[in-house]
């Protein structure tokens, strides 16, 4: 009890202090300081990037929603994660539903448009939509995210990079 827990996961060189998993009361706890050395932060210290979360009733619905948001350039990318189970209050009763979690990557500049568009596109009466600041990330990815949700000139650069294979999967 008196000695510090030994990290169970190797340090991440982009974070300070490093990511570590430590045992705690029979569970593993992720201890991380959310300060990246490669943040692309604004002068005021804020970040221009967001990860927005929503849920959908099925993977098919989630994929249609993501495709529309990507085509409108409200998000650069949406990741569909099936298999979630949600428990919540709805109309005075506790409800449990199987859902699909959707992680949307966007910018603060596109947030208002995303927040206005999603409810109209979503099948739920009150869709979940929350945003979390991205405090750090791989600079080429963040530049791509900005380009794909930004001005037309910047998007052209991202498209040229994609055609040249820079955004393709590694072989």
In degrees, to the nearest 5, what angle opens at C-alpha 137 toward C-alphas 47 and 49?
30
Domains of the chain, start order: 49-136 (3.30.70.120)
Q: Compute the distance between CA of residue 62 and CA of residue 99 in angstroms, rounded to an integer.
A: 10
Per-residue pLDDT of 1-22, as tens digits, reads 555 544 444 444 444 433 344 4
How much is the pLDDT for 49?
94
pLDDT over threshold 80, residue 94? yes
89 and 95 Cβ atoms separated by less than 8 Å: yes
pLDDT digits (tens, 9 = 90+) for 112-122: 999 999 999 99
Q: What is the mean pLDDT of the chain?
A: 77
User: Tokens 């300060």 sit at which residue?
Assistant: 35
Query: In this predicted structure, what is the pLDDT of residue 76?
Result: 97
pLDDT tens across 31-51, in order?
444 444 445 665 555 679 999
Q: What own/partner pairs with CB < 8 Å and gap ≥ 24 does 64-73 have? A: 65/102, 65/118, 65/121, 65/122, 66/102, 66/104, 68/121, 69/104, 69/114, 69/117, 69/118, 69/121, 72/117, 73/110, 73/148, 73/149, 73/155
Question: DSSP state, 156?
Answer: H
| Sheet of 93-107, strand order | 77-90, 93-107, 49-56, 130-133
Read off the pLDDT band of 168 (50, 70, 90). very low
Q: Per-residue pLDDT for 102 more than 50?
A: yes
pLDDT in tens, 120-161: 999 999 999 999 999 889 999 999 999 999 855 455 555 545
Cα–Cα distance measured from residue 159 to residue 81, given in angstroms and rounded to the nearest whole number: 26
In a 3-state reduction of DSSP, which class is residue 162?
helix
Element (H, E) at 144: helix 139-149
Helices and strands (H, E) in the chain, number of each type: 4, 6
């Amino acid at each position: 009890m008196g000695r510090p827990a030994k990290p169970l996961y190797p340090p991440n060189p982009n974070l300070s202090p490093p990511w570590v998993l430590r045992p705690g009361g029979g569970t593993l706890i992720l201890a991380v300081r959310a300060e990246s050395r490669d943040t692309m932060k604004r002068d005021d210290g804020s970040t221009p990037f967001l990860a927005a979360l929503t849920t959908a009733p099925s993977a098919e619905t989630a994929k249609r929603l993501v495709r529309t948001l990507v085509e409108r350039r409200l998000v650069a990318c949406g990741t569909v994660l099936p298999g979630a189970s949600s428990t919540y209050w709805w109309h005075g009763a506790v409800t449990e539903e199987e859902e699909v979690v959707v992680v949307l990557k966007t910018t603060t500049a596109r947030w208002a448009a995303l927040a206005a568009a999603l409810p109209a596109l979503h099948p739920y009466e009150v869709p979940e939509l929350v945003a979390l600041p991205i405090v750090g990330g791989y600079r080429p990815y963040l530049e791509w995210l900005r380009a794909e949700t930004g001005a037309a000139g910047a998007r052209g650069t991202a498209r040229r990079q994609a055609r040249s294979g820079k955004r393709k999967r590694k072989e």
